[in-house]
Amino acid sequence: MTTHTSPGTAGTSTTSTCTIPTAHASRYVQQLCKHWSHNLAVEFDASQGRVVFPRDARGAAWADDAVVTFTARAEALDCTIAASEPGQLEGLKGAVARHLDRFAFREAPLPFDWRDAPAV
């Protein structure tokens, strides 16, 4: 797994998962992680990725960092967002969808069927 910066630790309380059908999941994991590695803590390889969004990113003041994980499978990309607050979670759902659609422009718009877990 390639590490670009030290990953943060998130004490999260709200989570959502999504399975995005695509035959190019590995490519998208690597593109997304390389893109975000320029200014975020990222770890990734060809089959999985982990991105830490700091609690104070872009002037925000969330309770804690958020962590987005990706797992590439043969016909789908699994994504999990673990956030500290519902607003942070919703913002990251949009960021993930926008970035994936940009990298997957030949397939876009991709279907994002987010499944929220009960808050902890």
Query: Considering the domain boundaries, does residue 63 fall inside one?
Result: yes
Q: What pLDDT digit, counting tens, does each position of 66-119 carry?
A: 999 999 999 999 999 999 999 999 999 999 999 999 999 999 899 999 999 977
Q: What is the pTM of this model?
A: 0.87
* Structure token digits, residue 42: 């990222």
Query: Considering the domain boundaries, does residue 116 fall inside one?
Result: no
* Cα gap 64→9, rounded to integer Å: 8
15 pLDDT higher than 90:
yes
CATH of the domain at 71: 3.30.310.50
4 pLDDT higher than 80:
no
* Structural domain harbouring 40: 8-110
Query: Considering the domain boundaries, does residue 75 fall inside one?
Result: yes
* Cα gap 33→69, rounded to integer Å: 10
Report the pLDDT value the prediction gives residue 81, as an integer from 0 to 100.
98
Integer Rg of the chain from CA: 13
* Structure token digits, residue 69: 């994980």
> Of 109, 96, 108, 100, nearest to 16 (Cα)?
96
Query: Considering the domain boundaries, does residue 40 fall inside one?
Result: yes
Q: What pLDDT digit, counting tens, does each position of 29-39 carry?
A: 999 999 999 99
